[in-house]
């Protein structure tokens, strides 16, 4: 696709909805000088319950759109897309689209650091049904740390609670406690839990209330940001293709007003949003 813009452009961050804003925030806090475009496919969210084929198709459309908007590097700020679509896009699509462009996910940066964070070598993953079923975390962790035991627990109620701004009601405490008890009863030796969905950091205060104090809880934002910064240091040719004017654009496939209101839950600031079609 030689029609893709070749001049330096922003870093794209894609998510099925709002969760990727926690990833974007981590990246921007560490690397504020770059330009960014955030794309939320809110019209078709959530991805967590959808099939591999559908998640791949939707994610591919979003990646192509961000490439056409000038991004040379796109981060899938969505665990489901990282689990179900990233490998196919990297192995099959980039060759046709533009072999110089890159798409990265959120699972590998988290898997890479887990060996340093767990002492008991027992790790828990809290995520959507789709991410748990893909076994992506277990596979990526075992590749790097074969001795680490990984136990996954799906938390189907957590995303709707966050998106409806119910992070601190009694029902939320009930569902968080229930998932945590299920996970820890399956492996009481867990000393480190990865929040394997980008919505979950919003629930962090509630999660901590229902987790033993000696269990470490990992939010992905800072690890993905550090990994990206390291990536750009190791790949100066990509760094030169990322423009640096400190700008930010937000795109959604749904209602911009609704996106702007919900984005405040994640970013604690008002944002201007444009609507697009994929």
Out of 155, 197, 219, 242, pick the active-site residue: 197
Using the 8-state DSSP alphabet, how is residue 152 labeled?
Answer: E
Continuous segment of H or E residues that includes residue 213:
none
For residue 108, give both structure tokens. 């590998």
Out of 71, 78, 219, 242, pick the active-site residue: 78
Using the 8-state DSSP alphabet, how is residue 10 labeled?
Answer: P
Is 197 in the active site?
yes
* 261 cis-preceded (ω within 30 degrees of 0): no
Runs of H (alpha helix) within the chain: 20-30, 52-68, 79-84, 86-88, 94-97, 107-117, 129-134, 136-144, 158-163, 170-186, 204-209, 220-234, 236-239, 256-267
CB-CB neighbours of 254 under 10 Å: 17
Residues 158, 162, 168, 171, CA torsion sign: negative
- In the block, tokens 């008890």 appear at 181
Is 219 in the active site?
no
Number of H helices, E strands in the chain: 14, 10
Tell me which residues are annotated as active site.
Answer: 78, 197
């Amino acid at each position: 696709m030689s029609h893709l813009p070749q001049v330096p452009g922003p870093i794209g961050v894609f998510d099925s909805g709002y969760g990727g804003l926690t990833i974007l925030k981590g990246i921007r806090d560490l690397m504020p000088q770059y330009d960014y475009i955030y794309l939320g496919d809110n019209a078709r969210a959530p991805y967590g319950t959808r099939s591999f084929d559908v998640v791949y198709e939707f994610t591919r459309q979003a990646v192509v759109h961000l490439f056409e908007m000038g991004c040379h590097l796109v981060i899938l700020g969505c665990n489901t897309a990282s689990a179900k679509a990233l490998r196919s896009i990297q192995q099959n699509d980039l060759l046709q689209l533009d072999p110089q462009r890159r798409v990265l996910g959120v699972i590998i940066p988290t898997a890479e650091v887990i060996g340093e964070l767990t002492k008991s070598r027992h790790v828990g993953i809290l995520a959507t049904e789709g991410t748990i079923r893909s076994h992506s975390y277990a596979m990526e962790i075992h590749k790097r740390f074969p001795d680490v035991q990984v136990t996954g627990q799906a938390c189907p109620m957590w995303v709707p609670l966050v998106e409806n701004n119910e992070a601190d009601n009694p029902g939320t405490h009930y569902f968080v406690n229930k998932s945590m008890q299920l996970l820890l009863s399956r492996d009481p030796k867990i000393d480190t839990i990865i929040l394997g969905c980008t919505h979950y950091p919003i629930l962090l205060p509630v999660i901590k209330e229902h987790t033993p104090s000696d269990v470490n809880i990992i939010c992905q934002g800072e690890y993905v940001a550090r990994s990206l910064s390291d990536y750009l240091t190791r790949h100066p040719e990509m760094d030169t293709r990322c423009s640096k004017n400190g700008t930010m654009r937000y795109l959604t496939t749904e209602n911009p007003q609704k996106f702007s209101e919900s984005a405040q839950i994640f970013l604690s600031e008002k944002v201007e949003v444009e609507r697009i079609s994929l």
